[in-house]
Amino acid sequence: MRENIHPAYRTVVFHDTSVDEYFHVGSTIKTDRTIELEGKTFPYVTLDISSASHPYYTGKQKEFSKEGSTARFQQRFGSFLGKK
């Protein structure tokens, strides 16, 4: 196996700024920023959205009716189409 061709794999702290949540994850991402947590210094990356704040994962996603898009269209605009 060739040496010095793989990026450095290390523990990185990802910070979801929208909910102030920190994640410790193994990653090869390159960053110049660092943060000190739990008495150790880690590379640091900020995120706008993660599984802690995304509506799909938090259960705050809007659910549309299960009827389908045609039924929703008829429900909204059906009264306009029937009048002539």
Residue at token pair 């920190």:
22
Closest CA to 64 of 49, 53, 77, 75: 75
What's the whole-model pTM score?
0.61
pLDDT of residue 65: 56
Nearest to 23 by CA among 35, 12, 9: 12
pLDDT of residue 40: 94
Using one digit for the tens of pLDDT, what is the confidence trace for 14-58? 999 888 889 999 999 999 999 999 999 999 999 888 878 776 666
Domain ranges of the chain: 1-56
* pLDDT greater at residue 23 or residue 84: 23
Q: How far apart are CA 26 and CA 23, in angstroms?
A: 10
Q: Which residue has the higher pLDDT, 35 or 78?
A: 35
What percent of the residues of the chain are helix, what percent strand, and what percent coil, each to the nearest 5? 20, 30, 50
Binned at pLDDT 50, 70 and 90, residue 13 comes out as very high
